[in-house]
Structure 1
């Protein structure tokens, strides 16, 4: 009888530890275009145009607004540990460049090496000019309002 209780207690402890370890694992999240290497490799400069690229790769994530048309397909995979901010683990950008006639002129690819990590300086935005205190902000305009010549009859 004692051995059955001990086995049940150990099994319960094992299940509890497994559940706790699963709760502490990282969360993986895929964002953007789902990359298919076979489809990307099938886009050929000189052979494809905008219509065939849209049929093969689908709607682009972004389209250039200036210069020659460029379609961007962006994909990111983020990892997030418990109680932490997500961080980018993998990042790919496929750029399909078109000429003026709408034919593919080239394709380029960039990765996480092109991602800029920006850390804000603080909660306040630094500005140029003199620093004013609370009382200067509160009473700074006294005597400056209404100093012009009187108007009216």
Structure 2
């Protein structure tokens, strides 16, 4: 009987340490779920490679060999290749927030030689706020019932689509 009580007393002495360790582990696991999630979007920019592009020295082939294919190219005017890179951070259940944003615009002449390599960042980003959840349209607004029952009386009366002079 004495041995059982001694084992019980010994286990009671260890339990606060075990409880503390378990609590610390649970808090650490809970806080790891609140950490920010970082994502790279678009071109992953390397400062050494992007600074290696020199106007008057490089051409389309050397730019492709150094930087790879662009994110997109211009469709009008002078040929320009754009390398767009963004790093976002977001907490769980929250919309992503742009931390860093950079655009490298490489302009070419008609012969395919680099004319300029311009860099821009967050200063040129425009944040738009949409105007509500409704898209404005031309015409009059109709209710659901008007849409549902709007054709009653027009079928067969010669007022439908394609009805010209003389009815049908």
* Residues in 2 aligned to 1:90 and 1:81: alpha-carbon distance in whole angstroms: 16
* Residues in 2 aligned to 1:8 and 1:98: alpha-carbon distance in whole angstroms: 67
Q: Secondary structure at the match of 1:125?
A: coil
Find out whether 1:31 has 2:38 as its counterpart. Answer: no
The one of 65, 68, 83 equivalent to 2:75 is 65
Unaligned runs of 5+ in 2: 1-9, 159-165
* Residues in 1 aligned to 2:167 and 2:45: alpha-carbon distance in whole angstroms: 71
1:37-48 aligned within 5 A: 37-48=47-58
The one of 83, 91, 116 equivalent to 2:101 is 91
Which residue does the alignment assign to 1:128?
138
* Residues in 2 aligned to 1:54 and 1:133: alpha-carbon distance in whole angstroms: 56
Which residue does the alignment assign to 1:141?
151
Q: 1:129 to 1:13 in 2, by over 3 A?
A: same
* Residues in 2 aligned to 1:105 and 1:134: alpha-carbon distance in whole angstroms: 58
Q: 1:150 to 1:31 in 2, by over 3 A?
A: closer
Q: Deviations over 1:93-146 (max 9, x none)?
A: 100000010000001111122222233333332223222122322232333343
1:8-23 aligned within 5 A: 8-23=18-33
* Shift in Å, 1:150: 5.3
How many residues end up aligned between the 2 structures? 151
Q: Secondary structure at the match of 1:77?
A: strand
* Shift in Å, 1:52: 0.7
Q: Which has the larger radius of gyration?
A: 2
Unaligned runs of 5+ in 1: none
Higher mean C-alpha deviation, range 84-93 or range 115-124: 115-124
* Shift in Å, 1:9: 1.2
